[in-house]
Structure 1
Amino acid sequence: MGAELGAEQPETIAAIVAAHRAGTLTPAQTIARTYQRIRERNDPAVFISLRDEKDAIAEAEKLAARADAASLPLYGIPVAVKDNIDALGFPTTAACPAFSYTPTHDSTAVERLRAAGAIIIGKTNLDQFATGLVGVRSPYGIPKNSIREDLIPGGSSSGSAVAVGAGLVPLSLGTDTAGSGRVPAMLNNIVGLKPSLGMISTAGLVPACRTLDCISVFALTVDDAALALSVISGPDQADPFSRDRPLEPTIPFPAKLRLGVPRNGQLIFFGDKKSEAAYADALKRWSALGATLVEFDLEPFYETARLLYEGPWVAERYLVIKNLLASAPDSIHPVTREITAAGARLTAAETFSALYRLQGLRKIAERAFANIDALVLPTAPTAYTTAQVLANPIELNSRLGTYTNFVNLLDLCGLAVPASMRTDGIPFGITLLAPAGRDGMLASIGRVFHADTKLTVGAKGVAQAPLAALPGNSSDEIPIAVVGAHLSGMALNGELKALNARLIEATRTAPDYKLYALPTTPPKPGMLRVEAGKGASIELEIWSLSSSAFGQFVNAIPAPMAIGTIRLADGRSVKGFLVEPEALGEARDITVYGGWRAYMKEAATT
């Protein structure tokens, strides 16, 4: 197999899945290549626990034997998972052996990855309890930066970022509370996607700050990261912080893009002239791509950032480990212990005071976005070596969060993208930020910027492939409206995703329909066209399928469901699910709920 595992092999998710579908590479060969690269890398600090290779290969062979394997969006993709996210078969340590436990089931995010055809190969190292942006606060060692070994790997998702940067896996999960999915992405020349809060379920995640945590994605390209997000996003009843927020589609680069840049004199680089020049070059690139740069006031964002570690959110970190602090304080990394212990001293009055100030800052941030589409900022102001951080652990860590600490407090989504390679061999990256729910827009512009840099991906010198054509822009694409179990996050949504369907929009019907709950397993609704104005406007989603996938999908629809023409509230028409009237004898009229999701939500609580 050795001859087949050379450097010419596909590296991105898109290329690997295409090779698996074409039969030019098997999932078992891809998994074997991953383990061979892990051995060659010979860095025991990347993974805290690693699956047995024979076991992983056996799963890959079993996957390839499935009749539907080729339709899976992550068919045979090896994935690494940060070790504060539960994955069945691995202990969860949060980089603290005394805290370790064995989960009884997958986190929701990992469960969705597996359902999409991914193979989990190991759990990666992190700054203990996800507290840090440096990657040096772990009893399991310090992963070597994939680009320059003397640099910190970045944290807290250190192992996950290095695993992708070094080419061990094309996809990994990190987490991002204060920048942990973005700073290590920059330092390893990869893409770090920090989704809108609540878009990816945090069920099965060891919390850092429960109100701010999110699971993040590392990949080599923006398209790969966006694909992973589409697979694992969606509401989850097991997570009280989950939000019902459909993912925007990736669209062509907007003609009138307005990007916010800080006012003159507001940027901070801590004397790093190379980073300052790299940021200026990135802005020139955006202008050349057609974006209009608009100045905004960064100071309120800095003030928000200070709240994160000077305010009550440190108490959330304290809540996670207070028992361990009391019973075995020496088991906690000394820097983590020093930061977290401060959370015990905060009062309820201080908490409310900070919440009031944050609400005011959120309103200021909203106004900043009134005339701009996204902010473009340095991912981090500079980079440090491991030796520098070990000598000055708290101050230098704090500096790295200059442009990241405020993001979740302000409910923004973020995309960290490589921008350039400095003359001293240190990668520089920019981060795009926008209000929650604009993840698709960030991917739409970030993919074009990254491609325009002509940078190689990660640390292996692999050239970027030309940007793929966007799904939905081809005459081969057919839209279909779904109103029930195929909605995002619902029981049968995986059937659409397995056919590489993409969500186009969430909208409503004209007020000419009634909705019924059918006595089926799993529960499904039936929507019936009635006399104009005699029904209600029903919630639906429009998905896009290739013509072949559309045919496959429609062919599998069981009676009494049928495909008909649905009128939308704005007057458009689209093909979608309707029900045969004869089947409604025992069905319950649930039109009053206005949609299947609202009905199921109430049904779950009664």
Structure 2
Amino acid sequence: MTLTPTAVDRVDAAYRRIDAVDRPEIWISLRDRQDALDEAAAIDARVAAGESLPLAGTVAGVKDNIDAAGFDTTAAAPSFAYRPDADSTAVGRLRAAGAVIIGKTNLDQFATGLVGTRSPFGAVRNAWRPDRISGGSSSGSAVAVALGIVDVALGTDTAGSGRVPAALNGIVGVKLTRGRIPTTGVVPACRTLDCVTVFAREVGLARQTAELLAGPDGLDPLARTLEEQAQHATAAALPPRPRVGIPTASQLEGLAPGWAEAFHAAADRLAATGVDIVEVDISALLEAAQMLYNSAFVAERYAAVGAHIDEHRDLIGTELDPSVATIVLGGADRTAVELFHAREELDRLGAVATAALDGCDALLTPTTTWHPTLDEIAADPIGGNSRMGRYTNYANLLDMASSSVPAGTVDGLPFGVMITAPAFHDLAVHQLAERLLSPTIDILVVGAHLADQPLNHQLVAAGGSFVRSTTTSADYALFALDTTPPKPGLLRVDHDGASIAGEIWSLPAAGFGVFVASLPSPMTIGRVTLSDGGVVSGFLCEPIATVGAENISGHGGWLAWRRAQASI
């Protein structure tokens, strides 16, 4: 019998893991070990007393631009540090669900950057290749999750900071619709665009945690109301046959070697779960992405922390990162007229993008474009960083839900893809992420579930997609059963067998389980040998159901028999 680890067990393991990985740059502040163990023991006692804590036994890290009581908030700038009086809304909800927070994680200073190197507390190295960047700005949170120190970690996302480091470290990064998780107690980067995000190694835990943090708090004026969220809820789930757009070939140019191939392989895997993949023109989105830093929208970064950098110019190059200072101070001279022009242009691009994606339930893209070394970013800190946000920068500007999920490796480094959908379509993003990450199971169908037959819709609804036509080995018999709608029964026999025509369909594992659970008697699922020697799961029937039924094996298949019957 496997016992679920207690909160004390998990916290103890986290600190042992910290010692083992020896990555001090992950943390800006780390909680006293015994203090964390005492809190874990209290959580175990509450659970033992019958209290429901959905994240009990979960260890968490928090990006150090998010307030957590008992820790300084620095935003990776020592000169900016303060001790908050209370938790941020997100952290308060995380603790209330039973998670134990063990530390504040490093970040690109003032959450300005997608590289993870812009911090006086040290560049956060990639979890798997220390010569490579971790991605930012939520660098420490992503690496702490990837290395198995914490189960979940909070980040923030303005340009892609909750998604890029997830992709580069092989984990899940969930960014819900802007405003679903309040930003009360978060140091702003761009106040109207910022989102609190969640990292985890599993998509289910990431999604569960994000939803536990969601909902208005009565304090954040930009938080989405429950009424607003409910209004859109009916459009949030996927249809039986989802349609997902991917960029055109030219819009995938400039990816790191092997990345385009890895992206198309991910699209093929998604298609195998019953998703229609279509090429769409995302030029308007890519143009909008450029506006985040190359237009008057950068003024909001100055509004957030520009005064602090202005007052501490003498610290630029020591406590204040030069690249961050350049970007933030560059917003000081933008005018209101420029901002209104930028707003108008963004509205235009948003309308063009909406039209281009019409009919699509979501968009699939690479999360970022390359995975540079620390030395490459040091040689070109601004230009190198700007390449990172090609596919992420537009999401918050245009109010879209977006998550990054692992999609394999290229040259031994993690590769991630991003699923993006309109505001409040968070459930659709999650369902597509599950499809992409879920293993698939092939199943042989020989009757009413064949393409264009009466029950085929059940396969489609379970996420099934057609793989190929095939035949069984010559060891089977097919019977016409007395059912509604009419369907055959397949049995393996020890003599007088035949090769029976059928189709192989591929279902995601979760869909396969739901499908099998709904099968009516006398149908069963068993192992079927094919004419090429392969073995797959397939439709069989209980032998008793064939008593008195017509043996139609001589026709070679259900459709051939039906055609013969129609011609009589």
Q: TM-score range by the shorter chain?
A: 0.7 to 0.9
* Residue of structure 2 in register with 1:444 after alignment: 431
What is the rounded CA distance, in whole Å, between the counterparts of 2:17 and 2:379 in structure 1? 32
How do 1:123-272 and structure 2 match up within 5 A? Answer: 123-244=104-225, 245-246=229-230, 254-270=239-255, 272=256
Please tell me the residue identity of whatever aligns with 1:338.
T
Please tell me the residue identity of whatever aligns with 2:342.
A
What is the rounded CA distance, in whole Å, between the counterparts of 1:26 and 1:70 in structure 2? 14
1:319 positional shift:
1.5
Among candidates 301, 307, 313, match of residue 285 of structure 2: 301
* Residue of structure 1 in register with 2:95 after alignment: 114
Q: Using a 3 Å threshold, how does the CA distance of structure 1 residues 285 and 94 change in structure 2: closer, same or farther?
A: same
What is the rounded CA distance, in whole Å, between the counterparts of 1:470 and 1:63 in structure 2? 34
Among candidates 292, 315, 323, match of residue 276 of structure 2: 292
Whether the 8 Å contact between 1:269 and 1:276 is mirrored in structure 2 is no
* Residue of structure 2 in register with 1:72 after alignment: 53
1:474 positional shift:
9.7
Unaligned residue ranges in structure 2 (runs of 5+): 442-507, 519-568
2:68 paired with 1:87: yes
- Secondary structure of 1:218's aligned partner: strand
* Residue of structure 1 in register with 2:352 after alignment: 364
Q: Using a 3 Å threshold, how does the CA distance of structure 1 residues 71 and 146 change in structure 2: closer, same or farther?
A: same
2:268 paired with 1:276: no
What is the rounded CA distance, in whole Å, between the counterparts of 2:517 and 2:209 in structure 1? 22
1:252 positional shift:
9.0
- Secondary structure of 2:61's aligned partner: strand
Please tell me the residue identity of whatever aligns with 2:337.
A
Point out the more displaced range, 234-243 or 275-284.
Answer: 275-284
Whether the 8 Å contact between 1:250 and 1:443 is mirrored in structure 2 is no
Q: Using a 3 Å threshold, how does the CA distance of structure 1 residues 32 and 286 change in structure 2: closer, same or farther?
A: same
Please tell me the residue identity of whatever aligns with 2:249.
N
Q: Using a 3 Å threshold, how does the CA distance of structure 1 residues 251 and 468 change in structure 2: closer, same or farther?
A: farther
Among candidates 292, 317, 326, match of residue 338 of structure 1: 326
How do 1:553-564 and structure 2 match up within 5 A? Answer: none
Whether the 8 Å contact between 1:147 and 1:187 is mirrored in structure 2 is no
Summarize deviations over 1:153-212 as a string: whole Å, max 9, x none.
100000000000000011000000000011100111000001100000000000000010
Please tell me the residue identity of whatever aligns with 2:276.
T
Please tell me the residue identity of whatever aligns with 1:320.
A
What is the rounded CA distance, in whole Å, between the counterparts of 1:169 and 1:73 in structure 2? 16
Across the two proteins, how many residue pairs are aligned to each other?
A: 442
What is the rounded CA distance, in whole Å, between the counterparts of 2:440 and 2:87 in structure 1? 38
How do 1:271-420 and structure 2 match up within 5 A? Answer: 272-329=256-313, 330=315, 331-420=319-408
What is the rounded CA distance, in whole Å, between the counterparts of 1:194 and 1:243 in structure 2? 14
1:25 positional shift:
2.1
- Secondary structure of 1:65's aligned partner: helix
1:123 positional shift:
0.3
Unaligned residue ranges in structure 1 (runs of 5+): 1-18, 455-464, 476-606
1:321 positional shift:
2.0
Summarize deviations over 1:54-98 as a string: whole Å, max 9, x none.
000000111111155652110121110000000000000000000
What is the rounded CA distance, in whole Å, between the counterparts of 2:132 and 2:209 in structure 1? 28
Whether the 8 Å contact between 2:310 and 2:329 is mirrored in structure 1 is no
* Residue of structure 2 in register with 1:45 after alignment: 25
Summarize deviations over 1:536-572 as a string: whole Å, max 9, x none.
xxxxxxxxxxxxxxxxxxxxxxxxxxxxxxxxxxxxx
* Residue of structure 2 in register with 1:571 after alignment: none
What is the rounded CA distance, in whole Å, between the counterparts of 1:335 and 1:453 in structure 2? 45
What is the rounded CA distance, in whole Å, between the counterparts of 2:517 and 2:216 in structure 1? 29
1:268 positional shift:
3.0
Please tell me the residue identity of whatever aligns with 1:64.
D
Percentage of pairs with the same residue: 46
What is the rounded CA distance, in whole Å, between the counterparts of 1:227 and 1:192 in structure 2? 12
- Secondary structure of 2:25's aligned partner: coil
Whether the 8 Å contact between 1:87 and 1:103 is mirrored in structure 2 is yes
Q: What root-mean-square deviation, in Å, do the aligned CA atoms of Structure 1 and Structure 2 show?
A: 2.5
Whether the 8 Å contact between 2:236 and 2:425 is mirrored in structure 1 is no
1:291 positional shift:
1.2
Whether the 8 Å contact between 1:411 and 1:436 is mirrored in structure 2 is yes
TM-score, structure 2 normalization: 0.74
Structure whose CA Rg is larger: 2
Please tell me the residue identity of whatever aligns with 2:423.
A
Whether the 8 Å contact between 1:144 and 1:152 is mirrored in structure 2 is yes
* Residue of structure 1 in register with 2:505 after alignment: none
Q: Using a 3 Å threshold, how does the CA distance of structure 1 residues 309 and 470 change in structure 2: closer, same or farther?
A: farther
Whether the 8 Å contact between 2:5 and 2:57 is mirrored in structure 1 is no
What is the rounded CA distance, in whole Å, between the counterparts of 1:196 and 1:214 in structure 2? 8
Whether the 8 Å contact between 2:270 and 2:435 is mirrored in structure 1 is no
What is the rounded CA distance, in whole Å, between the counterparts of 2:511 and 2:148 in structure 1? 21
1:437 positional shift:
0.3
Whether the 8 Å contact between 1:252 and 1:470 is mirrored in structure 2 is no
1:43 positional shift:
1.1
What is the rounded CA distance, in whole Å, between the counterparts of 1:286 and 1:194 in structure 2? 20
Summarize deviations over 1:427-480 as a string: whole Å, max 9, x none.
1111000001011111112112112399xxxxxxxxxx9769999x999xxxxx
Please tell me the residue identity of whatever aligns with 1:197.
R
What is the rounded CA distance, in whole Å, between the counterparts of 1:453 and 1:376 in structure 2? 19
Please tell me the residue identity of whatever aligns with 2:428.
M
- Secondary structure of 2:394's aligned partner: coil
* Residue of structure 2 in register with 1:428 after alignment: 415
Q: Using a 3 Å threshold, how does the CA distance of structure 1 residues 365 and 89 change in structure 2: closer, same or farther?
A: same
Please tell me the residue identity of whatever aligns with 1:288.
A
- Secondary structure of 2:404's aligned partner: strand
What is the rounded CA distance, in whole Å, between the counterparts of 1:248 and 1:220 in structure 2? 27
Q: Using a 3 Å threshold, how does the CA distance of structure 1 residues 250 and 75 change in structure 2: closer, same or farther?
A: farther
1:325 positional shift:
2.2
Please tell me the residue identity of whatever aligns with 1:37.
R
1:223 positional shift:
0.7
What is the rounded CA distance, in whole Å, between the counterparts of 1:289 and 1:208 in structure 2? 38
* Residue of structure 1 in register with 2:486 after alignment: none
Whether the 8 Å contact between 2:235 and 2:425 is mirrored in structure 1 is no
Q: Using a 3 Å threshold, how does the CA distance of structure 1 residues 452 and 254 change in structure 2: closer, same or farther?
A: farther
Q: Using a 3 Å threshold, how does the CA distance of structure 1 residues 23 and 440 change in structure 2: closer, same or farther?
A: same
Among candidates 57, 62, 83, match of residue 37 of structure 2: 57
What is the rounded CA distance, in whole Å, between the counterparts of 1:365 and 1:309 in structure 2? 19
Please tell me the residue identity of whatever aligns with 2:431.
S
What is the rounded CA distance, in whole Å, between the counterparts of 1:176 and 1:326 in structure 2? 24
What is the rounded CA distance, in whole Å, between the counterparts of 2:327 and 2:193 in structure 1? 17
Please tell me the residue identity of whatever aligns with 1:427.
P
1:370 positional shift:
2.2
Please tell me the residue identity of whatever aligns with 1:38.
I
Summarize deviations over 1:9-50 as a string: whole Å, max 9, x none.
xxxxxxxxxx9xx85422111100000001111111001001
1:285 positional shift:
1.4
Summarize deviations over 1:322-354 as a string: whole Å, max 9, x none.
222222122421110111111001011100000
Q: Using a 3 Å threshold, how does the CA distance of structure 1 residues 93 and 380 change in structure 2: closer, same or farther?
A: same
Whether the 8 Å contact between 1:134 and 1:155 is mirrored in structure 2 is yes
- Secondary structure of 2:428's aligned partner: helix
Whether the 8 Å contact between 1:147 and 1:189 is mirrored in structure 2 is no
1:251 positional shift:
9.8
